[in-house]
Amino acid sequence: MKSAIYPGSFDPVTNGHLDVIQRAMRVFDRVVVAVADNTAKKTFLTIGERVDLLKNVTQGMKGVEVDTFDTLVIEYARRKKINVLIRGLRMTSDFDYEFQIALTNRRLAEDIETVFLMPSEHVSFVSSSLLKEVAGLNGDISSFVPQVVERKLKERLCR
Q: Does residue 17 have an active-site annotation? A: yes
The neighbour count for residue 120, using CB atoms within 10 Å, is: 12
Alpha helices in 1-146 (DSSP H): 15-27, 47-58, 73-80, 92-108, 128-136
**Catalytic (active site) residue 120:** no
Among this protein's residues, is 23 annotated catalytic? Answer: no
User: Which amino acid appears at position 136 of this protein?
Assistant: G
Residue 158 to residues 48, 146, 153, Cα–Cα distance (Å):
20, 18, 8
Of 41, 42, 107, 159, catalytic? 41
Identity of the amino acid at 60: G
Q: How many CB atoms lie within 10 A of CB 91?
A: 10
Clarify whether 122 is annotated catalytic: no
Which of 50, 87, 128, 152 is the catalytic position? 128
DSSP character string of 101-112: HHHHHHHH-TT-
Of 17, 87, 132, 152, which residue is the catalytic one? 17
Q: Which amino acid is at 5?
A: I
The residue from 50, 87, 90, 152 that is catalytic is: 90
- Residues annotated as catalytic are 17, 41, 90, 128
